[in-house]
Structure 1
Amino acid sequence: MDVLVLNKITGHEDEINEIKDALKSTKSVRLYKRYSVLLKHFDGFTNRQIAKMENIDEHTVSIYIKNYKSKGLGGLNIGHGGGASKKINEKQEKIIVETITTKTPEDVGFESKKNWTIELVRQWIIKEFNITMSHRGIAYVLHRLNLSYTRPTYVLAKADKEKQEKFKNDFEVLKKMLNGLVDTILFEDESMIRDYQAIQKNWFIKGHQRKIPTYGKNAGVKLMGILNYETGKVYCEEHEKYDAQIFKDFLENVLKQYPTGKIVMVLDNAKIHHAKLIQPFLNEVRDRLELMFLPPYSPEMNLIEGLWGWLKSSVINNVFYKSLPQVRNAVEKFIRNINLVPTQTIDRLCVRM
């Protein structure tokens, strides 16, 4: 993995704090992206690097930064161009996002159609709002609304929707306690990173396949990790196994990582997380550390789950390592590099909760 060399822009702490506050409070997806661009700019990324991370063109990055420098945060409330997109108002935008993310085309009248395409979205907008737009115009609107054509994932059907909603409401309350009754929110999980994980699609010569050499081994690194919801910082430890004593030791190390303030740790219902062995310790540190358990069968609600997928797709998938130290080295480099730019981790993992 390439190591990014950043020329961090200093002397702008007040501006950076103002942008961070605006990013936390905005409900606009578009403004959130623009604030994120500015934070990466102050972190020292080039416009080209920012464009790649934010999936926008370099010229757009330049416009955001230029408008901010000339007009401040108010300069980011700019038009979107492409007059066709103005046909759809903000209320209709919310309906579009809600429909695409919670319903199938069949649910809204397209018989035997289970998956959204640009053409189906276009037809639905005509039907729902009596607005006619081109295929390109619809694609622009979807991109602007932070929607993308992605591979879905499975969730466990046993999940209790009422318990999930209760957790979401409880988490909203918890967020309001940040920097008050609560100083730190952490998401915790364990993951096994093997020397070979998966074959995934990648760019290559048409009609040919990339050849991945294998070594006939099955080594792996067992990780315990935490993700800081507010700062994006990641901390991981490697262990030979998972048991209650190791989890207790891990919690002690977490308290060393965060030596002051109240911590709430969000985690799943694994047996080691409820073990009798750790209960006396939790009672001793209850003023410093509180465990908040996710609803059963809800791994998608644990934000650090996204970290494992990000790690595997970045340095594990499509690669076979000769030895366990090579796996370990790749994992360590990945964690070290993302901690150089925690705003990227926030944008990727934390914004959905």
Structure 2
Amino acid sequence: MSPADRADLTALARNGSAAHRLARRANALVLLDSGWSCEKVALALLLDDDTIRRWHGLFVAGGIEGLTRFEAGGSACQINGEEQEKLKSWVAATLPGSTRQIGAWMEKEFGHVYAGRSGLIALLHRLGLEYHKPEVIPRRLDEEKQKAFMASYDKLLNSLADDEAVLFADAVHPTHAVRPAGCWAPSQEKLAIEQTSGRQRINIHGAVDLETGQTRMIEVETVDAASTIRLLEAIEALYPMLAIIHVFLDNARYHHAKIVAEWLAQPQRRIKLHFIPPYCPHLNPIERLWGVMHKHVTYNKSYATCTQFADAMLGFLREKVPRNWPRFRDSITDNFRVISPKDFRVVT
């Protein structure tokens, strides 16, 4: 048995949603491949050894698809090589969203009704087809600008003096609302989470130091040029002994505002701004911090009031992140990569 066949059969045997008869056959074949005799497998599955031999014969003759044929009401049918190629071409062209859609097309096109979702999934895997979730990428991406930014960033880090620091800044606008997320629980329990009554939003303008995990997070009524200056002042206060503080941020209009430029031009200022290329949030690690924040603060958590929600959010960003930075640092990194549309098949 090939490693691919064994992996598919093991997945079928472990799949709680697979048809019971098909899962038992997959289980039997995996045990046979592990060196068990037909008699031993039959004894373990409370069957007779002739049944196990017959299942083995179905597999030898037709692969995993052969196991999906059942004598009683067996409407599943193994498709031939020409039909397989036609199925692969259709899937590649149309990108169907479900096995139900694929099964319906096969029934209409070939007149075959596949017995069980698990058997159909096994067929698709054997044909080199997998279930994909498209990655969302910005519409306008400049590969050369990304490479230039990464080179400039590496050069800065390699020449950074002891009296300098690097931070990444951004704004986030979490809404006071429940975010249900999947979780493990006892099978007999039916889970629910109470929805909040309001849709209030809080505005946070913040920055993070990837070296130490220190953060500066301010809650503001509006994210604008004034809040940018407030944030930069808070950053300077965080590092009173440093000569230069490099702050990386995006190209939001308020970051380029005249009053921000005038503030930076003051003689005593120690902030130096660096701008991330347009449409490249993947080059700002604080975006990853926002994802970690939601995972720990909003997923499956309900806050009765927006004040409680804001306290939990700001408490996590201001206290828990710096205090537990060794735990979070692997998820909030400057391990940058260039994203090129040429590396993807862009779905339209």
The TM-score with structure 2 as length reference comes to 0.55
- Contact 1:198 1:318 (C-alpha < 8 Å) held by counterparts: yes
**2:172 partner letter:** S
SS of equivalent residue, structure 2 residue 205: strand
Give the conservation status (yes or no) of the 8 Å contact 1:263–1:288. Answer: yes
Larger Rg: 2
Contact residue 247 and residue 272 of structure 1 kept, 8 A: yes
In the alignment, does 2:331 pair up with 1:339?
no
Question: Aligned match of 2:243 in 239, 254, 261?
Answer: 261
Quick one: higher RCO (CA 8 Å, sep 6+), 1 or 2?
1
Letter in 1 for 2:229: K
Residue 264 of structure 1 and its aligned partner are, at CA, apart by 0.8
Show the counterpart of 1:206.
Answer: 187
- List runs of 5+ in structure 2 lacking aligned partners: 1-90, 96-131, 337-348
Deviation at 1:251, TM superposition (A): 1.1
Residue 175 of structure 1 is aligned with which of 142, 157, 160? 157
Instruction: Give the one of 209, 220, 225 matched to 2:206.
Output: 225
Provide the C-alpha distance between the structure 1 equivalents of 2:134 and 2:321, rounded to a whole number of angstroms: 25
Give 1:270 shift.
0.6
Following superposition of structure 1 onto structure 2, how do residues 1-353 of structure 1 map, counting pairs within 5 Å?
A: 112=92, 153-180=135-162, 183-196=164-177, 198-206=179-187, 209-259=190-240, 260-284=242-266, 288-335=270-317, 336-350=319-333, 352-353=335-336
Taking only the aligned residue pairs, the percentage that are identical comes to 27
1:190–1:151 distance in 2 versus 1, CA, 3 Å: farther
Residue identity opposite 1:262 in structure 2? I
How far does the alpha carbon of each residue in 1:90-114 deviate from its partner, in whole angstroms, 9 at most, with x for none? xxxxxxxxxxxxxxxxxxxxx9599
Partners of 1:332 and 1:151 lie apart in 2 by: 32
Give CA deviations for 1:23-53 in whole Å, capped at 9, x if unaligned.
xxxxxxxxxxxxxxxxxxxxxxxxxxxxxxx
What residue ranges of structure 1 are gaps of 5+ in the alignment? 1-110, 115-149
SS in 2 for 1:313: helix
Letter in 2 for 1:344: R
8 Å CA contact 2:283–2:334 kept in 1: the answer is no
Could you state the TM-score of these two structures normalised by the residue count of structure 1? 0.54
CA RMSD, Structure 1 to Structure 2 (Å)? 2.6
Q: 1:331 to 1:183 in 2, by over 3 A?
A: same
| Number of equivalenced pairs | 208
**In 2, distance between residues paired with 1:209 and 1:273?**
47
Quote the Cα distance in structure 2 between the aligned partners of 1:153 and 1:223. Answer: 27
Q: In 2, distance between residues paired with 1:339 and 1:255?
A: 17
**Residues in 1 aligned to 2:251 and 2:267: alpha-carbon distance in whole angstroms:** 20
| Letter paired with 1:288 | R
SS of the equivalent of 1:237 reads strand
| Distance (Å, rounded) in 2 between the aligned partners of 1:206 and 1:186 | 45
